[in-house]
């Protein structure tokens, strides 16, 4: 099993399902980022989402990253996932080079191909080729970030080489690929030498461990000198007892999952696929079936797929995921709809992290 480090890092990950309550979301984001900086967490990450209340408070991660950079001093400021097929590479570099400058060289990006057909109203010709485009985008991002040069054809049909400004602080950009169900995506991340961002939505810990092994085997075969970094998203709420944490978090988590199910149903209704490339089902349009599906999801997350529980319970979950090769946990905290409870819980989350030097020992 992979064990290249003595500890496991923690960061905060935002993905709020409250697009129509964005002011509160941003206030929590900034307050939690300041607290993460003070408590010694490693990173704060915000996503890219469009056209739905599930994550809809975060249409532009460069903007939220810039805001976080301005109120923190130490944490890495990450975007995840940036749906690169929706954007010209040069614009991504311009935006995140600004964040790199504001943060003093603390920016990182996880890229994804996107899955929601409705998001691609922003770049409708990119949908069918989105996976191949994402892999190509990684090469272009690395090249333009390091060289500051962008070759493209202008409106007169002339190929020009342009200087891209501002120049970033970091000579190289920390990159992740977001992967879920497909082992092929894990292997692509290994071959390309990126880090890996994943979750437990469609897989259990053991299945994830096998995919992480495939990722690291691919890195080794491609000649990369280290094992890369695996970051695992986990819904998180830590309280004094397991019962208190679960009783409080479960209704919020169900509400959150119902919003996610609605997003997926709308994608299916528009002729697309669900996240992870799954085929749609008619039952997703039935209210009571959605409720049952959300309840099953809550039960799965409370059964070892989340950091919802006491400090002691969460430490045991950390030990388990570390044994599968996870290096970092990205703590999804903003599914809870009461910001003060989220902020109060961060000190307890820090307690989960403190003995992590012994994790896996």
Say what angle helices 130-147 and 183-192 make with each other, to 10 degrees.
Answer: 20
Pick the more confident residue, 50 or 279: 50
DSSP calls for 30-66 = HHHHHHHHHHT-SEEEE----SSTTTTT-S-HHHHHH
Sequence-separated (6 or more) residues with CB below 8 Å from residue 231:
11, 110, 176, 195, 196, 197, 198, 326, 327, 328, 329, 330
Cα separation, 245 vs 224, whole angstroms: 41
Q: Considering only residues 283 and 235, tell me which one the structure prediction assigns the higher pLDDT.
A: 235
The CATH number given to 9-358 is 3.20.20.30
* pLDDT value, residue 218: 97
More confident residue, 246 or 337: 246
DSSP state of 174: E
What is the radius of gyration, based on Cα positions, of the chain? 20
Residue 178 pLDDT greater than 60, yes or no: yes
27: its two tokens: 């206030």
What does pTM read for this prediction?
Answer: 0.91
- Summarised one tens digit per residue, pLDDT across range 206-247 is 899 999 999 999 999 999 999 999 999 999 999 999 999 999
pLDDT tens, 22-36? 888 999 999 999 999
What is the tens place of the pLDDT at every residue in 104-160?
A: 999 999 999 987 888 889 999 999 999 999 999 999 999 999 999 999 999 999 999
Measure CA of the first residue to CA of the last residue in the chain; give whole Å.
Answer: 12
User: Whole-angstrom Cα distance, residue 262 to residue 250?
Assistant: 18
pLDDT at 281: 58
pLDDT number for residue 5: 42
Q: How far is Cα 111 from Cα 176, in angstroms, rounded to an integer?
A: 6
DSSP string, 276-342: GGPPP-GGGGSHHHHHHHHHHHHHHHHTTSSEEE-HHHHHHHHHHHHHTT--EEEEE-TTSS-HHHH
Q: In 3-state terms, what secondary structure has residue 243?
A: helix
């Amino acid at each position: 099993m992979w064990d290249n480090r003595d500890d496991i890092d923690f960061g905060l990950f935002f993905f709020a399902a409250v697009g129509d309550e964005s002011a509160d979301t941003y206030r929590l984001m900034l307050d939690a980022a300041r607290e993460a900086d003070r408590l010694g967490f490693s990173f704060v990450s915000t996503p890219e989402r469009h056209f739905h209340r599930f994550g809809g408070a975060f249409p532009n991660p460069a903007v939220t990253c810039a805001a976080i950079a301005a109120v923190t001093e130490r944490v890495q400021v990450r975007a995840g996932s940036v749906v690169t097929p929706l954007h010209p590479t040069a614009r991504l570099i311009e935006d995140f080079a600004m964040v790199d400058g504001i943060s003093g060289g603390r920016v990182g990006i996880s890229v994804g191909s996107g899955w929601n057909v409705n998001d691609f109203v922003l770049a409708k010709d990119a949908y069918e080729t989105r996976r191949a485009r994402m892999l190509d985008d990684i090469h272009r991002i690395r090249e333009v970030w390091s060289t500051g040069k962008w070759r493209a054809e202008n409106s007169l049909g002339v190929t020009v080489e342009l200087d891209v400004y501002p120049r970033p602080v970091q000579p190289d950009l920390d990159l992740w690929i977001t992967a879920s169900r497909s082992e092929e995506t894990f292997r692509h991340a290994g071959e390309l030498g990126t880090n890996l961002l994943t979750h437990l939505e469609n897989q259990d810990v053991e299945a994830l461990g096998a995919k992480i092994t495939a990722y690291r085997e691919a890195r080794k075969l491609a000649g990369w000198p280290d094992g890369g970094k695996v970051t695992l998203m986990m819904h998180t709420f830590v309280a004094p007892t397991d019962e208190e944490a679960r009783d409080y978090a479960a209704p919020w988590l169900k509400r959150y999952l119902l919003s996610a199910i609605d997003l997926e149903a709308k994608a299916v209704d528009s002729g697309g696929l669900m996240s992870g490339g799954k085929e749609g089902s008619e039952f997703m349009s039935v209210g009571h079936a959605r409720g049952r599906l959300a309840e099953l999801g809550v039960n799965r997350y409370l059964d070892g797929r989340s950091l919802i529980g006491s400090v002691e319970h969460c430490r045991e979950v950390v030990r388990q995921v570390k044994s599968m090769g996870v290096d970092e946990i990205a703590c999804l905290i903003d599914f809870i709809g009461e910001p003060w409870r989220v902020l109060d819980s961060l000190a307890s989350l820090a307690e989960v992290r403190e003995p992590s030097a012994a994790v896996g020992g």
